Amino acid sequence: MSDASKEWPLWEVFVRGKGGLSHRHVGSVHAADAKMAVEHARDTYTRRMEGVSLWVLPSSAITASDPGDAAALFEPAEDKVYRHPTFYKIPDGITHI
């Protein structure tokens, strides 16, 4: 498997921990196609009852932001505290918000 072109493509795996939560990125698997990717994701990431639902998508389908643009993209938000909804009281018993 040293020849990279013979490797199965990479898939990103997302697991929904339980009903009501969103799918969370947990890692990646190699697989020949989507069906195999779901099987591999199941066997790799949900062996200890971590999930109730799985998503896989080709890693190549992800477009990432350029780290070089980080300053322009993210720093302008730093001094806009009024955008944080921190002035609301969260009722007791709400654990995921």
Partner 1 sequence: MDTLATYALRLGDDSLIAGQRLGEWCGHAPALEVDLSLANVALDQIGQATHFLALAGEIEGQGRDADKLAFHRDVMDFTNCLLVEQPNGDFAQTIARLFLFSHYQELVFAALATSKDAHFAAIAAKAVKEVAYHATLASDWVVRLGDGTEESRARMVAGLDWMWRFVDELFVMDEVDTAALAAGVGIDKAALRGAWDQRIDAVLADANLARPAARRPVLGGRVGRHSEHLGHILSEMQFLQRAYPGATW
Judged by the rule CB under 8 A, the positions of this chain that interact with partner 1 are: 1, 8, 29-32, 35-36, 39-40, 43-44, 47
- CB distance 15 to 53 below 8 Å: yes
CA distances to 37, 41, 42, 70, 84 from 47, in Å: 15, 10, 7, 36, 37
Q: Which is nearer to partner 1, 18 or 35 (CB)?
A: 35
User: What is the C-alpha R_g of the chain?
Assistant: 19
Q: How far is the CB of 18 from partner 1 (least distance, A)?
A: 19
Output 16 or 28, the one with its CB closest to partner 1: 28
Please report how close the Cβ of residue 16 comes to partner 1 at its closest, in angstroms: 19
Which one, 32 or 77, has the nearer CB to partner 1? 32
Q: How far is the CB of 19 from partner 1 (least distance, A)?
A: 19
